[in-house]
Amino acid sequence: MSLDAKHSEELRRSLPYVVPFFAFLIFLAVEREFQFPPEIFYPLRCVSVLLILFIFSRKVISFRVSHAPGSVALGIAVFALWIAPDLLWPGYRGHWLFSNAILGKAETSLVPAAQANAVFLSFRFIGASVAVPVLEELFWRAYLPRWLINHEFWKLPVGTFNHSAFWIVAVLFASEHGSFWDVGLLAGVLYNWWMLKTKSLGDCILAHAVTNACLSGYVIRFGQWQYWL
């Protein structure tokens, strides 16, 4: 196979894993750059990402779960770790390690109107608990580790271990979470480990979905909007 043919094959096989993730990031950047009202733009973003997942990725998504109790328990544990520092040490997130010019601050951009909008909150809950776990686990756990090991990633089973790939993915996953990079790193390590243990995209999606559902419920019930940046 020629080099161009190999690159074309790599691109074709990569698209289902990367398109939803980068589409989500583009929607997020557009919303912030143009300051669209989140109660209007977020439902559009949520529906669009779900459609993109269906169109581009449905053939590579597996929801088969083989370790449901463990996945649920892991999801709850990551949620507990996510909020623990702020509960145990008030003002923790205000330290310069977490609030600075590069990372920003742990404060929400949601206006009170959005916080009181039931339609927006419903879509935000669905987006966080359904769309985000699928698109992120596709990219971070099913695609990137394998691609870092071998660009012909489809020849490797999900859950293939490589020390460098494991930690590169964990660090990049942490960086995605801004001021919450510390708990993002812990979450990345635990989700990576769960993929290695279960060899199951479905189990990682379930664990991530449980974490995000718990966090979303916590945000809405107790008004902890800083977790929704």
pLDDT tens, N- to C-terminus, the chain (229 residues): 566 778 899 999 999 999 999 999 999 999 888 888 888 899 999 999 999 999 999 999 999 999 999 999 999 999 999 999 999 999 999 999 999 999 989 988 888 889 999 999 999 999 999 999 999 999 999 999 999 999 999 999 999 999 999 999 999 999 999 999 999 999 999 999 999 999 999 999 999 999 999 999 999 999 999 999 8
pLDDT computed for residue 1 by the predictor? 57
Give the residue numbers spanning the domain of 152.
Answer: 3-227
Residue ranges in the chain assigned as alpha helix (H): 3-34, 38-52, 68-88, 112-115, 118-126, 132-136, 144-149, 163-175, 181-198, 201-222
Q: How far apart are CA 221 and CA 229, in angstroms?
A: 17
pLDDT computed for residue 58 by the predictor? 96
Instruction: Look at the chain and report how many structural domains it folds into.
Output: 1
User: Pick from 75, 32, 58: which is nearest to 212 by CA?
Assistant: 75
Q: How far apart are CA 48 and CA 172, in angstroms?
A: 25
Q: Which amino acid is at 216?
A: S
Residue 148 CB contacts under 8 Å (≥ 6 apart), including other chains: 162, 164, 165, 168, 169
Q: How far apart are CA 190 and CA 204, in angstroms?
A: 10
pLDDT computed for residue 38 by the predictor? 86
